[in-house]
C-alpha cells in the first residue's frame, strides 16, 4: 500500500510517498514559494540526486499537479500511475476538541475543520486549502486528517483548564491543547519497542527539542501533560519563542513601549527564546559555537533552555508518580550530545545515569543510559510522516 503524506503551509507543500509494505520512503519533496514569484519544486528519490523544477505555481492545486506529474515521470518518478496511491494523509495543526484521533476526511469533517480554523489562524487555513486542492485532483482517493493536537486530547481537565474565568473556555475554547502530538506519539511508541516493553506499561517523558520545542508526559500510552498550550507559545524556551512567562509582562510591555497586542505577540513569538536572550541566533549550533568562544549571553541562553527542560522532567515525573524512560528527539534532541548531557546532569535522584560513550550519537536510535540505569534515556529520531502514514493506513483499513 502506497501512502502520500502531505503537509501544506501558506506558501509551501511538503510531501513524502511511503511504501507501507515495508515502511520505506519512495520519494519526498517540497514545493516552495507557492503564489509568490520564483516558485519551485524540489524532489528527491532515495539514492538519486535531488531534482529542482522551477515553475510558476500560482496555488496549491498547481503544486499538486506538478507533484503528481513528477511522481509518474518516466525518468524521475517512482510510480507508473497515480492510481497506485491508495490513500493520502494530511497533517493538520489544530483539531480543537473536535478531533481526539485521526479521521477520514469527508464533507462533514471539512466543515468542522473550517470551524477550528480560528484556533490556529496561521496554520489551519493553509492545511485546509491543501486538502481542498488535493481532493479536487484526486477525488476518488481516501484521505485522512492527522492532527498535531489529537494525541493530547487525553489530558485530564485539571491539566488542560487554565485558572481563568471559566466562561472564556466555554466561549472561545481557551484551554491547553498541546502540539507536536504526532511526534510525541511516534517516539514514545518507538521507545517502548526499543526497550522491548509493552507501551501500556511505561511512564515516558518525551522531549521534542527543535526550533519549536515541547515535552510530554506519556503515561501508559496516553498523553497526560504537555508543555505547549492554547498555542505553541507556552512551555519551554524555544528558538525564538519565549515559552511560559508571567502573563502580566504583556500588559506591562504594551504600556511601557506603547505597543499593540500584535507587536507584543510578534516579540514573544519571533524575537524571544534563545535568540532573544543571546542576541546571537536561534540556532543551537551557532549558540554552542559562540559559547565556546566565550559569549556569556549565548551560554546563558543554553543554560536557560536546559534548565527549563530539566524542571519539566522533574514536574512530569511527579505528574506520573515516576518515570521509566526519557526520550530525546527533533533537531537538537537528536543531535546535541552536550545539551542531552547538560539536561541529564543532576537527575540521579530520578535514577538517570547517562553512558557518556553511548550518548556520543547523532540522528539515530540509541539507548544512551547505562545498563543499570533505573530510568532509561533514549535518542529516537522523530518521523512524523511515517506516523501520519501509519495512522492513515489504520483509518482506511
Ligand atoms: P523545527 O522542525 O522545529 O524547525 P528541527 O527539529 O529541525 O526544528 O531542529 C532545529 C534545531 O536543531 C536548531 O536549533 C538546530 O540548531 C538544532 N540542531 C540541529 N543539528 C544540530 C547539531 N548537530 N548540534 C546542535 N544543534 C543542532
Q: Residue 23 is placed in which grid cell? A: 515502511
Q: Which residues of 233-269 are buried (b: 16+ CB within 10 A; e: fewer)?
A: bbbbbbbbbbbeeeeeebeeeeeeeeeeeeebeebbb
Please tell me the predicted confidence (pLDDT) of residue 319.
98
- Would you state the pLDDT for residue 122? 82
DSSP H helix total and E strand total for the chain: 14, 14
Same domain assignment for residues 230 and 131: no
Residue 330 alpha carbon to ligand 1 centre in Å: 7
Judge whether 231 lies within some domain.
Answer: yes
Q: Is 283 in the pocket of ligand 1 (CB under 6 A)?
A: yes
Strands (E), the chain: 2-8, 13-19, 24-32, 40-44, 51-54, 85-92, 103-104, 143-147, 203-209, 213-219, 222-226, 325-329, 366-367, 376-379
pTM for this structure?
0.95
pLDDT, position 123: 85
Determine the straight-line distance between the first and last CA of the chain, rounded to whole angstroms.
11
Helix (H) / strand (E) element for 351: namely none
Cβ–Cβ under 8 Å, residues 5 and 15 = yes
On whether residue 173 sits in a domain, the answer given is no
My answer on whether 143 and 211 are in the same domain is: no
Look at residue 121 in the predicted model and tell me its pLDDT: 84
pLDDT of the chain, 397 residues: tens digit per residue: 999 999 998 899 999 999 999 999 999 999 999 999 999 999 999 999 999 999 999 999 999 999 999 999 999 999 999 999 999 999 999 999 999 999 999 999 999 999 888 888 888 888 999 999 999 999 999 999 999 999 999 999 999 999 999 999 999 999 999 999 999 999 999 999 999 999 999 999 999 999 999 999 999 999 999 999 999 999 999 999 999 999 999 999 999 999 999 999 999 999 999 999 999 999 999 999 999 999 999 999 999 999 999 999 999 999 999 999 999 999 999 999 999 999 999 999 999 999 999 999 999 999 999 999 999 999 999 999 999 999 999 999 8
Q: Is residue 390 part of a domain?
A: no
Grid cell locating 338: 552536550
With the C-alpha atoms ordered 227, 270, 131, 330, is the resulting torsion angle positive or negative? negative
Quick one: pLDDT at residue 311?
A: 98
Residue 328, ligand 1, Cβ within 6 A? no
Indicate whether 216 and 119 sit together in one domain. no
Burial category of 160 from C-beta neighbours within 10 Å (exposed 0-12, middle 13-18, buried 19 and up): buried
Residue closest via CA to ligand 1's atom 3 equals 211
Q: 228 with 375, same domain?
A: yes
CATH assignment of the domain containing 330: 3.30.420.40
What pLDDT is attached to residue 146? 97
Same domain membership, residue 119 and residue 226: no
Active-site option among 148, 246, 266, 283:
148
Claim to verify: residue 122 and residue 267 sit in the same structural domain:
no
Which helix or strand (DSSP H or E) is residue 260 part of? none
Determine whether the shortest distance from the Cβ of 332 to ligand 1 is under 6 A.
Answer: yes
Tell me whether residue 157 is one of the annotated catalytic residues: no
| Helix, coil or strand: residue 14 | strand
In a domain, 156, yes or no: no
Element (H, E) at 38: none
Atom of ligand 1 nearest to the CA of 208: 6
The count of domains in the chain is: 2
**Per-residue confidence (pLDDT) for residue 96, from 0 to 100:** 93
- In contact, 226 and 155? CB cutoff 8 Å: yes
Residues 138 and 237 in one domain: no
pLDDT number for residue 283: 96
Is residue 358 assigned to a domain?
Answer: yes
Residues in the chain, total: 397
Report the residue among 331, 342, 384 best suited for mutation to probe ligand 1: largest number of ligand atoms under 8 A from its CB. 331
Question: What's the pLDDT score for residue 374?
Answer: 96
Is 58:4 a contact under the CB 8 Å cutoff? Answer: no
Q: 285: Cβ below 6 Å to ligand 1?
A: yes
The per-residue pLDDT for 119 is 86
Domain that holds residue 138: 2-147
Let me know whether 16 and 137 are in one domain. yes
Amino acid at each position: 500500500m502506497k501512502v502520500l503524506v502531505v503537509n501544506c503551509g501558506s506558501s509551501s507543500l511538503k510531501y513524502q510517498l511511503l511504501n507501507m509494505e515495508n515502511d520505506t520512503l519512495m520519494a519526498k519533496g517540497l514545493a516552495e514559494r507557492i503564489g509568490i514569484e520564483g516558485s519551485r519544486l524540489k524532489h528527491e528519490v532515495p539514492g538519486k540526486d535531488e531534482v529542482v523544477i522551477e515553475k510558476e505555481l500560482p496555488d496549491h492545486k498547481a503544486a499538486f499537479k506538478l507533484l503528481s506529474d513528477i511522481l509518474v515521470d518516466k525518468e524521475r518518478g517512482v510510480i507508473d500511475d497515480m492510481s497506485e496511491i491508495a490513500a493520502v494523509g494530511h497533517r493538520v495543526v489544530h483539531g480543537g476538541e473536535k478531533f481526539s484521533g485521526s479521521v477520514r476526511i469527508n464533507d462533514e469533517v471539512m466543515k468542522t475543520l473550517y470551524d477550528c480554523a480560528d484556533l490556529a489562524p496561521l496554520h489551519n487555513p493553509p492545511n485546509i486549502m491543501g486538502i481542498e486542492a488535493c481532493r479536487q485532483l484526486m477525488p476518488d482517493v481516501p484521505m485522512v486528517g492527522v492532527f498535531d493536537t489529537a494525541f493530547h486530547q487525553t489530558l485530564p481537565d485539571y491539566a488542560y483548564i487554565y485558572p481563568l474565568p471559566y466562561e472564556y473556555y466555554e466561549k472561545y475554547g481557551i484551554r491547553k491543547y498541546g502540539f507536536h502530538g504526532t511526534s510525541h506519539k511516534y517516539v514514545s511508541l518507538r521507545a517502548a519497542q526499543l526497550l522491548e516493553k509493552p507501551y501500556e506499561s511505561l511512564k515516558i517523558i518525551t522531549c521534542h527539542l527543535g526550533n519549536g520545542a515541547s515535552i510530554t508526559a506519556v503515561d501508559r500510552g496516553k498523553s497526560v501533560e504537555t508543555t505547549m498550550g492554547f498555542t505553541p507559545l507556552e512551555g519551554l524556551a524555544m528558538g525564538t519563542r519565549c515559552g511560559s512567562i508571567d502573563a502580566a509582562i504583556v500588559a506591562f510591555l504594551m504600556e511601557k513601549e506603547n505597543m499593540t497586542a500584535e507587536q507584543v505577540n510578534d516579540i514573544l513569538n519571533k524575537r524571544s527564546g534563545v535568540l532573544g536572550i543571546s542576541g546571537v541566533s536561534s540556532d543551537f549550533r551557532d549558540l554552542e559555537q559562540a559559547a565556546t568562544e566565550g559569549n556569556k549571553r549565548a551560554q546563558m541562553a543554553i543554560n536557560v533552555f536546559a534548565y527549563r527542560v530539566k524542571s519539566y522532567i522533574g514536574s512530569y515525573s511527579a505528574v506520573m508518580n515516576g518515570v521509566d524512560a526519557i526520550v530525546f528527539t527533533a533537531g537538537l534532541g537528536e543531535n546535541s550530545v552536550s545539551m542531552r548531557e547538560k539536561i541529564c546532569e543532576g537527575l540521579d535522584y530520578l535514577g538517570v545515569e547517562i553512558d557518556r560513550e553511548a550518548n556520543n550519537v547523532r540522528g539515530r536510535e540509541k539507548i544512551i543510559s547505562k545498563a543499570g540505569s533505573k530510568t532509561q534515556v533514549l535518542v529516537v529520531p522523530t518521523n512524523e510522516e511515517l506516523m501520519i502514514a501509519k495512522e492513515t493506513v489504520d483509518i482506511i483499513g
